[in-house]
Chain A
Amino acid sequence: MSGTFTKSMARNIFYGGTVFFFLLFLALTYDTNQALPKRDNSQNLTPEVIAGKKIWETRNCIGCHTLLGEGAYFAPELGNVYVRRGPDFIKAWIQAQPTGAPGRRQMPQFHLSDKELDDLVAFLKYASEINTANWPPNIEG
């Protein structure tokens, strides 16, 4: 048995298999790219949303929260927080941090301006409208 299946055969199957599946992956990526405009809410990718994404990134919100289920698991999912709480609550909440409640997980105060808060909310609204195949299962995220 081991006489017929040689190291060279194994190596060639490795190269062939890897190339084949990588090409398949590229094809699926191309198709995904073509399909995205119908799902990704990119028609609402406004300058405010782009600015909001930058605030999301530069305050490292993903360091505590998840967004579409990805990130850290210390604080709530924010992909649907726009639907769960609405823009006014989100802004008020961010402005009111930290709660200082003893023993409760704390969120920093980021000293965001009104424009920055509006941009961030725009980003969260945009995220909530992406077609995520009905994820999360409920409003709690």
Chain B
Amino acid sequence: MQYKSQAVAKPYFVAAIGLFVGQIVFGLIMGLQYVVGDFLFPALPFNVARMVHTNLLIVWLLFGFMGAAYYMVPEESETELYSPKLALGLFWIFLVAGALTILGYLFVPYATLAEMTGNDILATMGREFLEQPLLTKIGIVIVALGFLFNISMTMLKGRKTAISMVLLLGLWGLAIFFLFSFYNPHNLVKDKYYWWWVVHLWVEGVWELILGALLAFVLIKVTGVDREVIEKWLYVIITLTLVTGIIGTGHHYYWIGAPEYWQWWGSVFSALEPIPFFAMTVFAFNMVNRRRREHPNKAAVLWALGTGVMAFLGAGVWGFLHTLAPVNYYTHGSQITAAHGHMAFYGAYVMVVLTLISYAMPILRGRAANSPRAQVLEMWSFWLMTIAMVFITLFLTAAGILQVWLQRISTAPLSFMATQDQISLFYWLREISGVIFLIGLVIYLVSFFVKGESRVGAQ
């Protein structure tokens, strides 16, 4: 660790991993409810399990991004963090607020939770991924502003690198676009239009800047390739991202009441959105090929390369499959969407956070890399989780194609529920894949506790 204050990243990473485990447990519950429809009903209805699953995902990734920033920025800026105390304080505030929110979802009827938490003052609840009470949303803004203040002040007093600037831009963008979660018009079309200014402009916009910065940072560290080369690539990638992704927002505007020219704007620009992911994959493999050193942390290199590939497949390829309006007309709101969503989130954001943790955690614990035994276990977990996710995606894609055929294309269409019955085999296969994923995750946890001789000593 080059700067003492980088240590504040550790609790953020630990919280991230803990919440990740929670997310997967609830994912498995939902997967079972898909086929055993009354599983845990009425104690845990599907929609409650779902909001816990999705909100945990978002919050653990945010913990991951913040931990990554606290680790990266002092090193990039060549100065200690502005306020480690603030970082630790905000950690506990975010963790406690998050835990209370999840407990609220689980133990308080949603309508009552809304009444208790000021939804009648400003109605922001009840939209997908934005289920948080008003108080929680305000808390998120406060924590985000405190975090951004801390990171920005650190950068102001130190060296400004392309990596830290791109990271900061992405993080400020994340905070600014989150403000649209407070705007909930009565007009349903406007409601949906601006909802995507949070969701799309996050995951197909500013989050990709964060992804690029994290990946570039790890690649510099593990390959030793010249910073100028890597940072130029980073600018190219984020240019491709925003040039395609901003107007690409239109691929969410085909069927929600917006003007029909969005079918053209959205199709053309979003069809190009895989390009930055392709570039990222080529970039990662190229840098590793041109490496000037053999870094002892093989696991981190594997995660970095895997991120490029899976992000390209999940976000790029699977996204492309259903992005063109004539295709999307039939697949909109089907299991195709779920298939893409899972692989995209895992490939792009789960994997980049795990890449950063893989690189940074050993250093935070006093060594350049974990022992070979620990790394082997970590690499096993990489393969199990990644291959499991590929199968989850394949099974949901199969389910989705059948669903679209039976419910929307066939000349004798079945109802939604009858269709779901017909495709239940694929939901069972998905659930089995989910169990493999969980096994991979457990092995991942174990890898943190495996000792054995480290080839390289403390740094």
Which A residues fall within an 8 A CB radius of B? Answer: 2, 5-7, 10-11, 13-14, 17-18, 21-22, 24-25, 28-29, 31-33, 35-36, 39-42, 45, 49-50, 53-54, 56-64, 66-77, 98, 100-106, 108, 110, 126-127, 130-133, 135-141
Contacts and interface: CB of A to CB of B under 8 A. Distances in A.
Interface in B236-250: 236, 238-239, 242-243, 246-247, 249-250
A32 B265 CA distance: 12
Contacts of B246: 18, 21-22, 24-25
B33 interface: yes
Given A126-B188, A140-B407, A72 B50 contact: yes
B254 A135 contact: yes
A39 B259 contact: yes
Contacts of A45: 186-187
Given A42-B187, A72-B50, A104-B38, A140 B414 contact: yes
Interface stretch (B59-67, B310-318, B326-334, B355-363): B326-334
A130 B256 CA distance: 8
Nearest to B246: A21
Contact of B329 (A29, A41, A137, A139): A137
B413 A140 contact: yes
Mostly helix, strand, loop or mixed at chain B's interface?
A: helix
B257 A137 contact: no
A7 B110 CA distance: 51
Interface centre among A6, A64, A74 (most CB of B within 10 A): A74
B83 interface: no
Given A45-B186, A105-B38, A57 B257 contact: no
B202 to A, nearest CB: 15
B188 A53 contact: yes
Contact of A137 (B162, B232, B409): B409
A105 B416 contact: no
Interface of B: 33-34, 36-38, 41-42, 45-48, 50-51, 110-111, 114, 119, 123, 125-128, 131, 162, 184, 186-190, 192-193, 228-229, 231-232, 235-236, 238-239, 242-243, 246-247, 249-250, 253-260, 262-263, 265, 329-330, 332-335, 337-338, 407-409, 413-417, 419-420
Nearest to A23: B246
Nearest to B252: A70
Contacts of B42: 98, 106, 108
B190 A36 contact: yes
Contact of A21 (B247, B255, B259): B247
B236 A10 contact: yes
Nearest to A123: B188
Contact of B189 (A5, A10, A24, A130): A130
A29 to B, nearest CB: 8
Interface centre among B33, B126, B229, B254 (most CB of A within 10 A): B126
A74 B258 contact: no
A66 B33 CA distance: 17
Nearest to A29: B193
Contacts of A33: 190
A13 B235 contact: yes
5 contacts: A25-B249, A40-B257, A42-B187, A58-B126, A60-B51
Given A63-B47, A133-B254, A140-B414, A14 B238 contact: yes
Contacts of B228: 7
B47 A72 contact: yes
A107 B315 CA distance: 32
B123 A103 contact: no
Contacts of A136: 255, 332-333, 408
Nearest to B258: A32
A58 B119 contact: yes
B239 A57 contact: no
B152 to A, nearest CB: 19
Contact of A130 (B34, B51, B188): B188
